[in-house]
Amino acid sequence: MQTIAIQCPRCHRRFALNAPDLGAMASRPFRCPKCGFSAPFGQLTGRIPQGAAPLHTHIAGGQPGVQGGKTRVASKSGVASLVIEDSGRTLPLAQGSYIIGRASSDSTATLKLAPDPYMSRQHARLDVIAAGPVTQCRITALNPANDVFVNSRRLSRGEAAELRDNDRILLGMTKVIVKI
């Protein structure tokens, strides 16, 4: 029997499950008892069953948000990405503007990073601009009460910072690495 660790992509609750055979369980559904999120075990553990589409857990792509009652989700091939340092989760980003905030049921952010109590529901704005082979990213602090640090430098309200590959951003207590 093998013990596997799973983290719900929506509410970030962690589970340790005993599985007799992970390969046999890869296509079986997992349902989070806290938030009700459902996906095959294989997608949550990184062992995606043959022919299955990859799992996307964040909003991205063009101008993010809700359109026609459906949430738009980016494909794996974004022009930039954010890597959450604690979990190692990678969020591919397409060209567009994103409001970054905490992952909670009352958050109005288009890019919900983590259930960080020190991060607000609308903490910062991230703009991704793809101009041919060059991608530019810019982060803007939205509120003076919400600290945004880029490579240990604090941004004041309304201040924007151009981001480069491997820049480190601190939002609340969540550390993020930019990949361009």
Q: Domains (ranges, CATH) in the chain? A: 2-45 (no CATH), 66-179 (2.60.200.20)
DSSP H/E element including 122: none
Q: What percent of the chain has pLDDT over 70?
A: 71
pLDDT tens track for 3-40? 777 777 766 777 777 776 666 666 677 777 776 677 77
Indicate whether 65 pLDDT > 70. no
Give burial (CB, 10 Å; 0-12/13-18/19+) of 22.
middle
Q: What is the mean pLDDT of the chain?
A: 76
Give burial (CB, 10 Å; 0-12/13-18/19+) of 46.
exposed
The phi, psi pair for 44, rounded to 5°, reads -80, -25
pLDDT of residue 21: 67
Three-state SS for 43? Answer: helix
Whole-structure pTM value: 0.57
